[in-house]
A and B are shown apart, each in its own frame.
Chain A
Amino acid sequence: MREGKAPVVVTHVWYRVGAIDEESGQSGLAHMLEHMMFQGTATVPPGEFSRLIARNGGDDNASTSHDFTNYHINLGADRLDLAMGLEADRMRKLVLADEEFQSENLVVREERRSRVEAKPDARMLERYRAVAHGRHPYGRPVIGWMDDIERHSVAALEAFYRRHYAPNNAVLVVVGDLDLDGATALVEKHFGPLTSPGAIQRRAPPAADPITTPLHFQVSDPEAKLPFWQVGYRVPTLADAAAGEDPLVLDVLSSLLTGGLSSRLHKRLVVTDRLAVAVDADYAALARHDTLFGIAVTHAADVQPRRVERAVLEELDRLAREPVGERELQKVKNGLVAGAVFERDSVDSLAWTIGRAVTSGVPWRSVLVEYPARVRAVSAGDVQRVAAKYFQPKARVVGLLATADDQGTGAAAGGEAKP
């Protein structure tokens, strides 16, 4: 995509592989491989990749999700050749050496400690997702369980790399101040000579068992200073053709509930009832499989978790019972449409949206180009119908992180759940 307002170009390579493609007992392998992709090829020695980018005034990084693994390089617009050359090189010629693997595996353990283990909220949410997704691999942490990370091996990485890293499993997204013909020629030059193995088979992950009675769990944590609570429901994404426009309506619901200081849950929990200091809805419409619509609440000091739960569930119930008012719906749509315009200011976020759509199996134009019109088309009736359809009492999953002195005051019924 040509977007020429700044003399930069971003090069994203997206592999259609992520944590859901890992074997059981190998959690974290896709992410471990992402780290190893910076550790050298037949032509670029370990450590040289980022050094080359830096010498050319560029920044690079990578990330792994359940659905995809993303590599990106941001450079001045005249350096596209370098970015494509480096990405093509490591697509098929990675060298997985034991020495580099041993130290990088320690790095990933530190990353897990930083991201999850040293954070009470993150520890709770990790277990929450395991409970809420059941057998589906979305319940597995992308970074991996620590004991699985400790069991990773060069042999396992090698097999995973050979199976999943090839042109026929990759999407190249280039956005910036580029000449489209020149960029196409560079793609041919660098990626054209690469060979693909046979068709890459992605196994369908096991379906999660439907939730027919509410799931509750509670953990208490001596490091937690304020209770943290989450409710969630399984919902479809844009990848699910049978869901129609429901994912757009869920975006509207997410914004209605917690988008901005005038949103319903902020007003109810933070302003009126003074039960919480922060409330956030989390829903990503771009994912391959059904995901969670989650609402997370950081409690105010000295608040009974039961009161938070009651207030949130009342508000969800009200959405199903009463149609949303005209101005409120208009407000939410305006915010979502404005957000889409703001996002276009960054070439990097354009590349992100395109890549996330494509790796979720969603045509990118249907998101990037058609999103505003689709949001505008959502009606009050849609909002009411979709809230009633997905926010069902029997389908909810509730998790509570209690502080050490708050034990037993929560809504937990089932005790601790095993991840």
Chain B
Amino acid sequence: MLLGLLWPLVASVQGAERYPVERFVTGNGMTVLLVENHANPMVEVRLLIRAGSVLDPPDRGGVASLAAWMFNEGAGDLDAAAFQELLDFHGIELSAAVDRESFGVDLTTLTESLDEAFRLLGLALQAPRFDGEPFQRAIDEHRARLEKDQEKPDVRASQALYREVFRGHPYARPVDPTAESLPNLTAADLAAFRARYFRAPDMVLAVAGDLTLERLRTLVETHLGGLDARPAHRLALPEADPRPPAPRLHIPMTINQTTIRLGRVGISRQDPDYYVLTVLNHILGGGFASRLYEEIREKQGLAYSVYSHFSPLAARGPLVVGMRTKNSSVEQALELLRRELARIAADGVTEQELQDARLYLTGSFPLRLDGLDKLAATWAAIAFHDRGWDYLERWPERIQAVTRDDLSRTARRLLQPDGFSVVTAGGEESATP
């Protein structure tokens, strides 16, 4: 089905002199963004599709992930070997990965190979083969990866934490196939998933680099014009309410270090305290000047890496504190982590800390946008999550508007140590050399 593409909507964006971007919506409903830059003869593409792992059918966990793994394993007349040879011959990088909310495709190409790159992208989106040979290889490789993951304390702790924090909610399910779901998956499941969710109105295509808007229109019309114009049915995701913390969980391994993860349900992307938590998280555990870094690493030498992190999702996403320490220090470290959470929940932050965080979060903006890949990824996320076209422009004022009272209120709401589940993965104390 080839829809005639119309260009009813072409707009340049408010604040265009600081963050120039052009955008249009295709006739079949795809949102397309372009940051034009001719400094280097290359193009970066980031495509986001509303086809994340929360859409996996209940008994088919990992189907989105497996479809992403197979994204460069053959399409149209090209079997896996032929498809991959063409990518490599033209120096094109094309791969896909999923998270809970999106199916993300990354494409990097020289300007001279743009046509071939978009042709292969279009084939992979519209005519994937899911042949038996690569499908079986995908299954085998995932089985091996599940084995290999058992070596990794961070992976094991993180998966267990999601299960604890989101128990009963779709976010608790792993993104990747599990040992239980893997035998159920078939190539037909992947094809059905693709047909159901790869719809042009559910896609955002952000492009940065050495091409004009006119060229991009032609490429999209020629290679992506056949995508289904009907949006997929949107999943009504249940709210992820905070659960009472689960009992502390330990995953025993025979290594001389332990991964510690504390986690709880945090905030959604629409939460009015999004910017407040951005500042709060930076002060608590975001970087080399944070409280956790100072107390746990600089003063006590208990960890090489210690951090806090939050992922706002469509529903409330995770808020995590993490570190690794030698087995004999686990209890001391946990006590310190709890103490820092309790301190910030009870006393908030100082004026100096707020000033420093504002300076960093507003001043570091140029570093977040200093490459074509970062530009494409940032604009794709802004459009995909309806952040508003003035998101970049307004970021500094929104950060500046955060007050110490906001921070105290949000710390009381989200950082009480009793609200966190605790998972550890590592050796017993006696295993420490």
Contacts and interface: CB of A to CB of B under 8 A. Distances in A.
The answer to whether A and B interact is: yes
A292 to B, nearest CB: 24
A223 interface: yes
B400 interface: no
B370 A267 contact: no
B87 interface: yes
A119 interface: yes
Interface string A70-90: 000011110000000000000
A243 interface: no
B246 interface: no
B402 to A, nearest CB: 16
A103 interface: yes
A419 B354 CA distance: 50
A225 B72 contact: no
A102 B300 CA distance: 9
B41 A341 contact: yes
A7 B364 CA distance: 11
Given A267-B81, A270-B137, A262 B305 contact: no
A225 B91 contact: no
B398 to A, nearest CB: 16
Interface string A319-362: 00000000100110011011101101111000000000000000
Nearest to A225: B147
A193 interface: no
A299 to B, nearest CB: 8
Contacts of A346: 370-371
A114 B425 CA distance: 13
B305 to A, nearest CB: 7
Contacts of A146: 433
A376 interface: no
Contacts of B405: none
Given A110-B325, A347-B370, A226 B363 contact: no
Contacts of B84: 260-262
B41 A58 contact: no
Contacts of B366: 6-8, 57, 76-77
A118 interface: yes
B269 to A, nearest CB: 24
B85 A331 contact: yes
Interface in A88-122: 102-111, 113-114, 117-121
Contacts of A261: 72, 80, 84, 87-88
A61 B153 CA distance: 25
A147 B92 CA distance: 46
Contacts of A339: 91
Interface stretch (B180-188, B227-235, B249-257, B416-424): B249-257
Given A50-B289, A114-B257, A262-B84, A223 B91 contact: no
Contact of A327 (B89, B147, B365, B370): B89
A51 B289 contact: yes
B1 interface: no
A335 B363 contact: no
B369 A118 contact: no
B101 to A, nearest CB: 27
A108 B326 CA distance: 12
A54 B285 CA distance: 13
A331 B89 contact: yes
B298 interface: yes
Contact of B303 (A54, A75, A107): A107
A274 interface: yes
Q: Chain A CB within 10 Å — which of B145, B253, B325, B367 has the most?
A: B367
B326 A113 contact: yes
A301 interface: yes
B147 A226 contact: yes
A277 B138 CA distance: 10
Interface in A42-67: 46-47, 50-51, 54-60
Nearest to B90: A334
A103 B303 contact: no
Contact of B40 (A38, A327, A345): A345
Interface residues of A, number: 72
A210 interface: no
B359 A57 contact: yes
B110 interface: yes
A335 B303 CA distance: 40
A274 B255 contact: no
A46 to B, nearest CB: 8
B140 to A, nearest CB: 6
Interface in B230-289: 253-257, 287-289
Nearest to A331: B89
A105 to B, nearest CB: 7
Contact of A277 (B144, B152, B433): B144
Contact of B301 (A46, A104, A344, A345): A104
A263 interface: yes
Contacts of A338: 42, 90-92, 109-110, 113
Nearest to B297: A107
A341 B371 contact: no
A57 B370 CA distance: 14
Nearest to A35: B304
A3 B253 CA distance: 48
B350 interface: no
A117 B40 contact: no
Complex A-B, nearest 8 residue pairs according to Cβ-Cβ distance, in ascending order: A57-B363, A338-B91, A106-B301, A103-B301, A50-B288, A6-B370, A111-B304, A113-B257
Interface of A: 3, 5-8, 38, 46-47, 50-51, 54-60, 74-77, 102-111, 113-114, 117-121, 146, 222-226, 259-263, 267, 270-271, 274, 277, 298-301, 327, 330-331, 334-335, 337-339, 341-342, 344-347
15 contacts: A56-B359, A57-B364, A104-B301, A108-B304, A109-B326, A110-B301, A110-B325, A113-B257, A117-B257, A121-B151, A223-B255, A262-B81, A327-B89, A338-B113, A345-B372
Interface of B: 37, 39-42, 44, 72, 80-81, 84-85, 87-93, 108-110, 113, 133, 137, 140-141, 143-145, 147-148, 150-153, 253-257, 287-289, 294, 297-305, 324-326, 356, 359-360, 362-367, 369-373, 426, 433
Given A47-B289, A347-B370, 4 more contacts: A6-B369, A6-B371, A55-B359, A225-B147
